[in-house]
Structures are given as C-alpha cells and as structure tokens.
Amino acid sequence: MQELSDALRDVVIAALEEVAPEILANTMEEILPGVIRRAKLPVYLTNNDLEELTGWGSRKIAYLRKERKIPFIKHGRRILYPTDEIEAYLRQGLVPAK
C-alpha cells in the first residue's frame, strides 16, 4: 500500500512540475502589470493628479466634490482624493463588453 502511495505522490509531483511554470507565467502576465501600476500611484491624488488621471477639468472636479459624488479629504485649504475610492467611483460607470 505504501508503494502505491509513493508512486501516486511521484506522479502528482511530476505533473505539478510540468504545469506549474506555465500557470505561474500566465498568472504573472495577468497580475503583474496591475500591481506595478498601482504601486506607482500615490495613496492620495491632488486636483492636478485627478485631472490627469480622469481627463476632467477643474470645474467638473469641483462640481463632483460639491455634489458629494466623489470622496475627498479637506485638510485646511488642501483637498486630496483617496486613489482607491476614486478608482472605485470610476468602476461604477463601467459598461461591460458584449
């Protein structure tokens, strides 16, 4: 019985050694670009950052902020936008492909 278990283990290990590199490569190709992009983004966006990211003008941003449609943090006169929450807001308008 032990010989059968050892043989089965060897077959499973051989199969994993054959398939694992391809699975790892595919996963890295899918995940790595997003991880790198997110690592480059700051935790909070300024008005200029938000304009550059979205293409919105300063009036549009002020309107969305006034209507409380986008989240923001006001620290004195400085206004910052949490990057994660802005991306979530943008994803709400996502129209799925057919």
Q: How do the domains of the chain map onto residue ranges?
A: 1-40, 42-92
**Going residue by residue through the chain (98 aa), what tens digit of pLDDT does each one get?**
667 678 888 888 888 788 888 888 777 788 878 778 777 888 999 999 999 999 999 999 999 999 999 999 999 999 999 999 999 999 998 899 98
Q: What is the pLDDT of residue 57?
A: 97
pTM of the model: 0.63
d(CA 38, CA 48): 18
What separation in angstroms does the CA of 94 have from each of 35, 41, 78, 88?
20, 21, 30, 10
Q: What is the pLDDT of residue 1?
A: 60
Q: What is the pLDDT of residue 77?
A: 93
